[in-house]
Chains A and B, each alone.
Chain A
Amino acid sequence: MFTANKKVDKLLTLYLPLTMLLSFTIFPIYWTLNTAFKPEGDIVKRPLQYMPINPTTENFVTAWTNVGFATFFKNSLIVGVSTVLVVLVCSTLSGYALSRYQFKGKRSFMIMLLCTQFIPRAMMIIPLFVIFKNLGLISNPLSLIITYTAIEIPFTTILMSGFISNVPKELEEAAVIDGCTKLQALRFVVFPLLLPGIVATGVFTFIYTWNEFLIALMLTNQQSKFTLPVGLSTMMGEFSINYGALAAGSVIALIPAVILFAYAQKHLVNGMGGAVKG
């Protein structure tokens, strides 16, 4: 009786809503996969095929080999990883300052961070182009790393400051009294508790750089320096859209992100609870 009740309870509060939300999430992904494995003619054919009748990997081959996809993939990876590293350092530091210190100009700094997000990116393209042209960095991954870092810092700083606030100040202070230096306290006490936050911040930054299109297109004048989204967008010409190759290319592009999520989600568990328990 008791266990039956518990089962019904779990069904209503967990499995049912989760299934509903997940079907909404999964369907378009499934449809992308379905499209990616269909030969070109079958994609727009009716009746619709819910499973590819003539499954093929031809689209993946097209995407990977024909359009320099491997190069785009590598470029995106370089930009993504570098941006994540720089962003994490900067935002952990500034997030720490925001959550742990009261200082003059704190409010102004916050407002400044927010203000950077108020301008549509499309309006910043030409001035950004001018800056990087003067620095001689057009078509150089550095231009993207810098721009993405600047654009991501406000959000990640605010995010990190939130996560840091969640770590009780007392823990850190206690460590300092125990004879740790401030930095040791950060390293051994705050950092482990902060890991979920750092992981989430890193994931956000990576995904942003992985998918950003407009700035990457504008600041790159060499085909061999294109990032993935720019490369993918050239699969849709005005007179032809290769849905299959686009879907296949996107599926390939998804792989690192999925691996990242699989890794990241492990850290989004009760890290805090574990540390304080005892």
Chain B
Amino acid sequence: MIKKKMTTAFFALTMATGMLLTGCGGEEQAATKTKKEAAKSDEPVTLQFWDENAGPARTPVWEEVIKRFEEKNPNINVEYVGIPNSSAKSKYDAAIAADDMPDIGSVQTTWLPEFSIREALLPLDSHFEKSDISKKINPSATGVNKKITQDGKLYGIPYAQNLDALWIRTDWFEQASVQEPKTWDEFFTVIEKMRDQANNRYGFTIRGGAGASFTIQRAMFAYSGLDFFDKNGKTNINDPKHVEFVEKYFSYYDKLTPKSDITNGYKEMIAGFDTGVVAMVHHNPGSYGEHNKALPAGSYKLIPLPTTEKGQYVAEGGNAVNLAIFKSTEHADEAWKFVEFVNSEEAQSYWNQQTGQIPTNSDVLDDKWVQDAQHIKTAFEVYNNPDTKLYEPPFYLPDYRAILDGVVDPGVQAVMSGKMSAKDFLDEWAKAIEDSKAKYDQTFKK
């Protein structure tokens, strides 16, 4: 009997394996068939939506937005899929490579050129122009999205922007009677003044770990006010002004900023601020929720990054998140309805208020909560200031991100630990950008 049982089990297993192996072709046909049938029927449509930055702060907000959308569109279901930020890009990569994409995705601006060139996304120009939201959405944000793609089309509608800024401890500044820094010179003086050895307080914390490249790039362009490329198409990365800035900026490490800065990622950096160790941190309005939890109200606030010598604010273009529709969708019209809804005043207002990002829909500006939220208002004012300079990094270069991760991040640590000079670091960075650009230009602009 035992023998019989074991043999049966064994054969069942082998058969199952065999069926799986040969099942390939059949399953695929079946799948395409059901898809076609679904398209024909009038049954409720289900859209899959991927959130590229799921977390305790955002997931519930999206769920609420989706609920409101479904109430207005009873025949459309939106299925939320939350992906942790650190794995989102590779999840999209695999999905595109295997041609199994969602209907709608939340997509960072920097991914747009790549996804569009991989023919994963649907151009949204005609939908957008016909829609009311085209009059409301910040034109500079959509402008960047068009500029960076190869064919100049609009592949993503920005529903939230972000802006690098400084969080400061106002109570400490008052105690020490130090003024908020307006220029970079003042910024450096503040670092020195706010160092308080007795209380184990530092003036500033440098981001040296994950994400360091973004921070240093934005800080140095905010200092110089230069464009990413000069008139001859050479990059300004290693401009003497940047060398001067980077040298000074990192010279504070380990003397006037904490030693752990060299591996500081987002959470360590914010922890430094929230536990009362540093007086100033370079981040963005998005971390408001964390400070709100840890610090007493009124003891901190957001101020813009210092201005250039000419008194100009600088912001990096394309610091936004977008909704994109994937080409493989069978319900493009329904998907657009969702995109339109998320960008409506109501939804954007709710979403951005809850997550502490800056809305792109101009109607939201007048909302009371924006006027009351110091950090959002400040960031808004920077974007709305006609003199604010926007520079556009070449997101379209296929290895733009790889250069930031592979050359700039380690380079920052090398400079911080004194293994490399600021000039060598910036030269290396500039060369990587220029090599990549030359290769790209050769492919596309023959």
Interface set of A (CB-CB < 8 Å, partner B): 40-41, 44-46, 62, 66-67, 86, 89-90, 93, 122, 125-126, 129-130, 133-136, 138, 146, 181, 183-184, 187, 214, 217-218, 221-223, 230, 233-242, 245
Contact = CB atoms under 8 A, between A and B. Distances in A.
A135 B10 CA distance: 23
B80 A223 contact: yes
Given A44-B271, A217-B83, A239-B58, 5 more contacts: A44-B294, A89-B10, A93-B10, A138-B100, A237-B84
A86 B13 CA distance: 9
Given A217-B91, A234-B82, A241-B267, A187 B100 contact: no
Given A67-B59, A135-B23, A181-B3, A126 B79 contact: no
Nearest to A217: B87
B275 A46 contact: yes
A234 B51 CA distance: 11
Contacts of B3: 181, 183-184
Contacts, number: 127
A239 B57 contact: yes
* Interface bracket on B: 35 or more
Contacts of B10: 89, 93
B79 A222 contact: yes
Given A89-B13, A129-B100, A217-B91, A236 B55 contact: yes
A240 B94 contact: no
Contact of A239 (B31, B102, B271, B289): B289
Contacts of B59: 67, 234
Contacts of A239: 53, 55, 57-58, 266, 286-287, 289-290, 355-356
8 contacts: A66-B60, A130-B97, A134-B24, A138-B100, A187-B2, A214-B87, A239-B289, A240-B57
B94 A218 contact: yes
For the residues of A in contact with B, the DSSP-based class is: helix
B98 A130 contact: yes
Interface in B24-42: 24, 27-28, 30-31
B38 to A, nearest CB: 14
Contacts of A62: 56
A126 B294 contact: no
Contacts of B54: 234, 237
B72 interface: no
A79 B58 CA distance: 28
Given A183-B2, A234-B59, A221 B85 contact: no
